[in-house]
Chains A and B, each alone.
Chain A
Amino acid sequence: MRRPTSGFWLVLALFLLWEVSARTGMVDSPNWPPFSQVLAALARDTLSGEIPLLVGSTLARMFAGLAAGTVVGVAVGLLFGASRLATRVLGPTVELVRPIPIPAIIPPLVLFLGLDNGMKITIAAVTAFFPVLTNTAQGLRAVEADQLAMARTFGVPAWRRLFLVTLPAILPYVMAGLRVALALALVTTVVAEMIAGEQGVGHYLVLMQFAGRAEEMYAAVLVLALLGYALNRGFLWLERRLIGWFFATGRDG
C-alpha cells in the first residue's frame, strides 16, 4: 500500500480541522494554537538544532537501556531454559515484579540512581527485560532438537552451538519481544524524563507546558508521534533483514 489511502486523507482533514478551529475561534484558548504555528515552531526548533539534540539524547538513553535489558533478558531466559531449578527459584519473583507499572518505580529509583542517565537507562532496561525474557523462554521451546543434535554429530562445541544454533533460532522470538519493548521503552523513557531531571524530549514537553508556550509543547508531542512511527517502521525493516527466513518458512504461523 504505497498510495495514500482514505486513512491518510482523514489525518490531513484532522490537521485542517485543528487549523480552522483555532483560527475561527471555534476553540478560543491560548492553549490551542493553529496547527500551522505548531509546525512553524517545530521547523524553527528543528533548524536551530534544539529538537534534534533532544531527540538524540532521548534515543541514546532509550537504546542504551534497550540493549542492556535485552542482553540481560536473553541471558536470564537462557538460564531459565537450561535450568529447572533457576525457573523454580527465580520464576515467582519475576512474576511478582512484572505487573508493576514501570513508571511507578521511577520515584524510588530516583532515590538510588539520581535524576539523570543512570536512572533513565535503567528504566528503559527494565522495560525491555520482561518481554524479552518471556519471548526468549518461548523461543527456546521452539528450537529444533534436530538442529542441536546435528551440530553435535559434527563435533561442534557447546558454546558454538549456543551462538550458531540456539541464538539464531530464537532471534525471531527475541525480536518479537523487542518490538513490544521498543514501543514501551519510548513511553517509559519519556515519562522518566518528564518526571525527573532536565533531559530529553520529555523534559522539554513539560518545560514548555509550564512556560505556557503551547506551540512548542504541541511540537514536542508531534515529534514523539513521528518518533514512535519511525521506530516501528525501522524495526519492521530490520526484522525483514535479520529474520526473513522465519517468515519465508512460515514458522511465524
Chain B
Amino acid sequence: MAILELEAVEKSFPARSGPPTLAMDRISLSVREGEFLSILGPSGCGKSTLLQIAAGLMAPSAGTVRVAGRAVTGPPPEAVYVFQQYGRSLLPWRSVRDNVAFAVEHRPGMSRARARETADLQLASVGLTGFGDHFPWQLSGGMQQRVALARALAAEPKILLMDEPFSAVDALTRLDLHRLMLELWEKRGLTVVLVTHDVEEAVALSDRVALLTKRPSTIARVVETGLPRPRDAVEVRETARFLELRHELLDALLTRGGHAH
C-alpha cells in the first residue's frame, strides 16, 4: 500500500525576466509503506525541492502529494524531514537532550520531564547515551547527525524524508551511519525516502532507487534493487547484484547525464 504518493508534481520558480523556469516536470512516484526508497540524481536536479514538497514544507506549482491517503497542504504528522545541514537545523542554544525533546515537547499532555525521558531513550537508540547535557556544537559532525536522527525518531514518524543526510561527514562515519540507519529502519518499520547523489549509498540501503534527470527533472526510471534483507550496509557492497546496479546507475548518471531519453 502506498503511504506517500506524488501525482504529477510540478515546480517552477519565477525567472528574473520572462516566463517562470520549470524545475520539475510532472513527477509521479508512489512510496510503499515500510520500504526504503532512494531518489538519486545529479547535483542541482531539484532532489531537495522534491523532498520538501513531499514534506509539506513547500507547495508544488501543480500536482498533488498524498500522505496516508490525505492531500498534503502543510507538514503532515506522519512524516518528518531530516535536513542535510545538521549543523544548521540543530538549535545551538539547546543541549543535545533538549534538541531532541524539541520534537515532542509542544504536544498536548507532554510534560517537560516526559519529553526529556523520550529524548534520552532516542539518544540511546542512536548510540549517544551520556551526551544529553552536551551542546550540539561540542560534538563531531557524525554525532550531530545522530542527534538530528534521534530528534526525528522522537516524533515517532511513519515516514522519514532524508535530504542527503550523510553527505557532510567523512567516508567512514558515513558507513557507520548507513548501518545505524538500516538498523533503525528494520527495528521500527519506518518508511524512508532518501535523497542522495551517491549511487553506492542509494543501492546499499534501498529497496528501490528512483533515478531523476537533470532540470527540468522527471523520473527517468525506478529500479528494484532486489538485494536481500536484512542486509549489512558494508557487506552488501561486495555482492554481484550490488556491483551490477552500481554500474548500471552510474552509467545512467554519467553517460547520459541523467537525461530521460
A residues whose Cβ falls under 8 Å from a Cβ of B = 144, 146-147, 149-157, 160, 164-165, 168-169, 171, 243, 245-246, 248-249, 251
Contact = CB atoms under 8 A, between A and B. Distances in A.
Nearest to B87: A249
Contact of A144 (B57, B80, B88, B103): B88
A216 to B, nearest CB: 46
B103 A154 contact: yes
Given A146-B85, A245-B135, A248-B135, A153 B92 contact: no
B74 interface: yes
26 contacts: A144-B89, A146-B83, A146-B85, A147-B89, A147-B91, A149-B57, A149-B81, A149-B89, A150-B81, A150-B83, A150-B89, A152-B57, A153-B55, A153-B75, A153-B80, A153-B81, A154-B102, A154-B104, A155-B77, A156-B106, A157-B106, A165-B91, A245-B92, A246-B93, A248-B92, A249-B92
Contacts of B155: 154
Contacts of B57: 149, 152-153
Contacts of A165: 91
Contacts of B88: 144, 146-147
A152 B137 contact: no
Interface in B59-94: 74-75, 77, 79-81, 83, 85, 88-89, 91-93
Contact of A149 (B83, B91, B93, B104): B83
Contacts, number: 60
Point out which of A150, A153, A154, A160 has the most chain B C-beta atoms below 10 A from its C-beta.
A153
A248 B74 CA distance: 35
Given A154-B103, A246-B92, 7 more contacts: A147-B91, A151-B102, A153-B57, A153-B80, A154-B104, A243-B93, A246-B93
Contact of A245 (B83, B85, B137): B137
Contacts of A168: 91, 93
Nearest to A248: B137
Nearest to B138: A248
A146 B83 CA distance: 7
Given A144-B88, A147-B88, A153-B55, A160 B135 contact: no
Contacts of A171: 93
Contacts of B77: 155
A155 B106 contact: yes
Contacts of A147: 88-89, 91
Contacts of B137: 245, 248-249
Given A146-B83, A149-B81, A155 B91 contact: no
A147 B81 CA distance: 12
Which 7 pairs from chain A and chain B are nearest by CB?
A153-B81, A146-B88, A146-B89, A245-B92, A150-B89, A249-B137, A154-B103
A154 to B, nearest CB: 5
A150 B55 CA distance: 11
Contact of A152 (B74, B85, B93, B104): B74
Nearest to A171: B93
B77 to A, nearest CB: 6
A244 to B, nearest CB: 9
Interface string B101-134: 0111010000000000000000000000000000
A152 B92 contact: no
Contacts of A251: 92
Interface string B137-155: 1000000000000000001
Contacts of B52: 149
A20 B104 CA distance: 69
A169 B57 CA distance: 21
B148 to A, nearest CB: 9
A165 B74 CA distance: 19
A94 B173 CA distance: 52
Given A144-B88, A149-B81, A245 B93 contact: yes
B205 to A, nearest CB: 21
A160 B106 contact: yes
Nearest to A250: B137
Contacts of A245: 92-93, 135, 137
A171 to B, nearest CB: 8
Contacts of A144: 88-89
Contacts of B91: 147, 165, 168
B206 to A, nearest CB: 22
